[in-house]
Amino acid sequence: MHRIARLFLAVGATTLAVACSQEQKPDENATLAAILPVAQVNLKFQTVEPGKRTGEQIYQAVCKSCHEVGALGSPKTGDTAAWAPRIAKGFDALIQSATNGIGQMPPKGGAADLTDAEIARAVAYLANQAGANFTPPPVE
């Protein structure tokens, strides 16, 4: 009787060892279904014609990626201490910096299609988040 028990034990252990050593391939469809809700990219194309964009629209599309986190030495959105010396230079000086580029920021933030009025709107929006009281040009 002990021989039969040992035999079953040996066969069971061998079967378990073989089963555990075989690599299980993940089910690709199950993996895709699980990650799709967070991995999906939604593209929304802006239909506002150039020249008609608000400061906030330009900030969201062009400026936010750097200014929200302070990338490349840019002053963070809403950081009153970082923006105070810049705001003190005046609205026109900030517009010139945004138009021509400053430090690591390229001219027009890299968006060559921005009009002068749109740059002024974006500058007013961004500076006003940090306490400025600049009046942006109207959207016409």
Q: pLDDT per residue over 8-66, tens digit each? A: 565 555 665 555 555 566 677 766 666 666 556 555 555 667 789 999 999 999 999 88
The pTM score is 0.66
Task: Give SS3 for 66.
Answer: helix
User: What is the C-alpha end-to-end distance of the chain, expressed in Å?
Assistant: 96
The more confident residue out of 139 and 18 is 139
**Percent of the chain residues past pLDDT 70, beyond the cut:** 68
What residue spans define the domains of the chain? 55-128
Question: In whole angstroms, what is the distance from residue 98 CA to residue 92 CA?
Answer: 10
What backbone torsions phi and psi does residue 41 show, to the nearest 5 degrees? -105, 125
Q: What is the dihedral of CA 109, 69, 56, 114, to 10 degrees?
A: 10
What backbone torsions phi and psi does residue 105 show, to the nearest 5 degrees? -80, 125
Assign domain 55-128 to its CATH architecture: Orthogonal Bundle (1.10)
